[in-house]
């Protein structure tokens, strides 16, 4: 199924930036506008800092980021995040905070999430209607 906009989880964003997406996933993303959340921007920035990327690699990342639509944090996203965390806790499994932020952004914007970490988002897909694009 082809989507007009697809949110890239941090793992997929990283592979996309490095031009290492598996063909099975790449085929599903061709023609879609890549989107990232503020969480992925933060995680990619952290990785660049932790790995002490040089100027050239950081500039390449900046060029890649310029092609992606950045989904913002806002009150609605924060509210959905809180609801997802509470519901997950009531079910006996509080989801990781960053995964919940990414899921909240996707659910608020009604956009699918491309991820290779299916188990991290399976609960959101099963219980909250998060659409996943996977290999």
Position 2 confidence tier, pLDDT thresholds 50, 70, 90: low
The CATH number of domain 5-133, selected from 3.40.50.720, 3.40.50.1010, 3.40.30.10, 3.30.70.141: 3.40.50.1010
pLDDT at 94: 87
6 backbone dihedrals φ, ψ, rounded to 5°: -135, 130
Q: Roughly how many angstroms between the first and final C-alpha of the chain, as a whole number?
A: 12
Tens of pLDDT, residue by residue over 31-42, are: 999 999 999 999
CA dihedral 99→102→103→108, nearest 10 degrees, is: 160
d(CA 134, CA 25): 6
pLDDT at 3 over 90: no
Nearest Cα to 95, choosing from 69, 107, 46?
A: 107
- Residue 12: which residues within 8 A CB-CB, separation 6 or more? 21, 25, 114, 115, 116
Burial readout 12-49 (b: 16 or more C-beta within 10 A, e: otherwise)? bbbbbbeeebeeebbebbeebebbbbbbbbebbeeeee
- Residue 106: which residues within 8 A CB-CB, separation 6 or more? 7, 37, 112, 113, 130, 131
| Domain boundaries along the sequence of the chain | 5-133
d(CA 110, CA 76): 13
- Residue 4: which residues within 8 A CB-CB, separation 6 or more? 32, 33
Tens of pLDDT, residue by residue over 28-87, are: 999 999 999 999 999 999 999 999 989 999 999 999 999 999 998 999 999 999 999 999
pLDDT at 93 over 80: yes
């Amino acid at each position: 199924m082809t989507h007009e906009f697809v949110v890239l989880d941090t793992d997929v964003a990283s592979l996309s930036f490095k031009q290492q997406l598996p063909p099975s996933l790449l085929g599903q993303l061709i023609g879609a506008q890549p989107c990232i959340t503020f969480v992925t921007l933060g995680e990619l920035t952290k990785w660049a800092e932790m790995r002490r990327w040089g100027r050239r690699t950081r500039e390449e990342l900046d060029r890649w980021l310029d092609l992606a639509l950045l989904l913002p944090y806002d009150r609605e996203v924060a509210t959905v995040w809180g609801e997802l965390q509470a519901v997950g806790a009531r079910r006996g499994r509080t989801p990781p905070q960053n995964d919940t932020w990414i899921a909240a952004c996707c659910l608020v914007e009604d956009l699918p999430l491309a991820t290779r970490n299916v188990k991290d988002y399976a609960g959101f897909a099963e219980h909250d209607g998060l659409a996943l694009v996977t290999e």
